[in-house]
Amino acid sequence: MRRTFPTKEKGMSRRDFVRGLSLSGAALGASSLLPCAPGGFGIREAEGQAEEQIKTKAVDVDLNKPYVHPTPAKLYKIEEDKAIRCQICARNCHLPNNKTCFCRTHINRDGKLYTTAWANPCILQPDPVEQGPLYHMALRDGVRAMYVATGGCMLRCQYCQNYQISQEAPMDVTMLGTDWGPKKVVEYTLKAHETIPSLKGIPVNCIAYSYSDPVAFYEYFTAIAKEAKKVKKRKLINIMVSSGYIRPDALKATLPYVDAYVFTFKGWTEEFYEKICSAKPGPVMESMKIVKEAGKWLEIPILIVPSYNDREEYVKNMVKWVHDNLGENTPLHFAALMPKWKMSNVPRTPVTLLEDCRNWGLEAGLKFVYLLNIPGHDGNNTWCPKCGSCVVRRIGVKCMSVMVDKRGRCMKCKTKIPGIWNPNV
């Protein structure tokens, strides 16, 4: 049975929220929890709030704890007085000695960088792969991904759907224990169809790093992804769901292990990125190009906020940029606003506005433009660009029918539908 989780503003504590997410082993309603990006906005409230200062504070952390892990040396530089310049995300934090950082997952202790996200997930649960959103990875109906998250994020999106975990340090949302090393996560995934009753024997063939941003738990996520690739008896697919706010070298290091990427394109203007997300669009666009040039599968959600990032000119610029730089086969997902966190007072995005956005995407030449969060809408389905037949019919995140053959072709006209349609590809 699907469950939905009330938000904190309806009286649920962060701890209850996280417990609900992490311990169920059951599929969540897509309308209540969406990976990383498509959440809710409350625009006017947020104005003036978004420029959160980087706060660093000394914290007492026992470096012998299992969840504290030294990071690989190549991901940071040592500066004067044992200060560290982190090289993981585009924020490029300067951490004085004995200080934490913006993403709340890293600590400088005596000139060495540690992560507190290691083996310390707050979410470990199977959900449909479509929830990514990944619509071109229907590895046959009913296949699930194991979603993994820890506390922490490098952004401060004012509408964050999952702020109860993304805006907390990993040790503050520890609910599953701190011994979930990479091997244990992979073993849990491989046995999930036997140990989690709600799966009813359906195997989990993917691991999706999502809900908060895997860049914040970079060391942990890449270690799990590498471990997953060692499995011989079954092919496990790694999926990175992120803001894409990562430095090029750190992203390139994931390419040998990650099969599919979902990078959110939050808005067209610098102002929107800076005021609403405390980030910049440039590194995100660069990340998308790196992934695409490497030949990896990429899908892009765009959350449309009425009266904020919905200007026709902005949306048309975004779809044109995607078309021109990433190609006509890159799926776009326009998502409706679900008001949350500091932006809880803005109404949902009208369906007509999302339909306009979808039409602008199709008019720009993109072949696969979807609408999220509107169950039953034709924009949920995948349509063959040649014969126009419905090759994947969905209701929400549930695949009702898949008319793509094992070679990834439309069953009616044999046109190739881009994506990863077979786990053994």
**Residues that bind ligand SF4 in the complex, under the rule CB under 6 A:** 36-37, 39, 86, 88-89, 91-93, 101-103, 106, 153-157, 160, 162, 166, 212-213, 216, 243, 277
In the complex, minimum distance from the CB of residue 251 to ligand SF4, in angstroms, rounded to a whole number:
12
> Which residues, in sequence order, are CB contacts of 10 under 8 Å at separation 6+?
none
Q: Which is nearer to ligand SF4, 9 or 194 (CB)?
A: 9
Residues 79 and 374: their CA atoms lie apart, in Å, by 50
- Crossing angle for the helix pair 182-195 and 218-229, to the nearest 10 degrees: 60
Distance CA 210, CA 29 (A): 15
Please state the closest distance from residue 147 (CB atom) to ligand SF4, in A. Answer: 13
* In the complex, least distance from residue 260 CB atom to ligand SF4, rounded to whole angstroms: 17
CA 242, distance to chain mean position in Å, is 4
CB 321 to ligand SF4: min, Å: 20
In the three-class reduction of DSSP (H, G, I as helix; E, B as strand; rest coil), residue 84 is classed as strand
Burial of 241 per CB tally in 10 Å (0-12, 13-18, 19+): buried
Q: Could you tell me the smallest distance in angstroms from the CB atom of residue 270 to ligand SF4? A: 16
For residue 137, the number of C-alpha atoms closer than 13 Å in the C-beta half-sphere is: 30
CB of 203 to ligand SF4, least distance (A): 28
> With respect to ligand SF4, which residue has the nearer C-beta, 52 or 378?
52
* CA count, 13 A, side-chain hemisphere, 364: 29
Q: How far is the CB of 394 from ligand SF4 (least distance, A)?
A: 23
Q: Please identify, using beta-carbon distances, which residue of 113 and 224 lies nearer to ligand SF4.
A: 113
3-class DSSP state for residue 151? coil
Residue closer to ligand SF4 by CB (options 180, 211) is: 211
Is the CB of 32 or the CB of 415 nearer to ligand SF4?
Answer: 32
Q: Select 39 or 182, whichever has its Cβ closest to ligand SF4.
A: 39
Give the nearer residue to ligand SF4 in terms of CB position, either 37 or 192: 37
Q: Which CB, 89 or 332, lies closer to ligand SF4?
A: 89
Q: Where are the alpha helices (DSSP H) in 273-346?
A: 281-293, 312-326
Q: Which residue has the tokens 């590895």?
A: 139
Least Å distance, CB 176 to ligand SF4, is 19
Q: DSSP code of 410?
A: B
Whole-angstrom CA distances from 22 to 122, 182, 246, 347, 388 are: 6, 17, 26, 29, 40
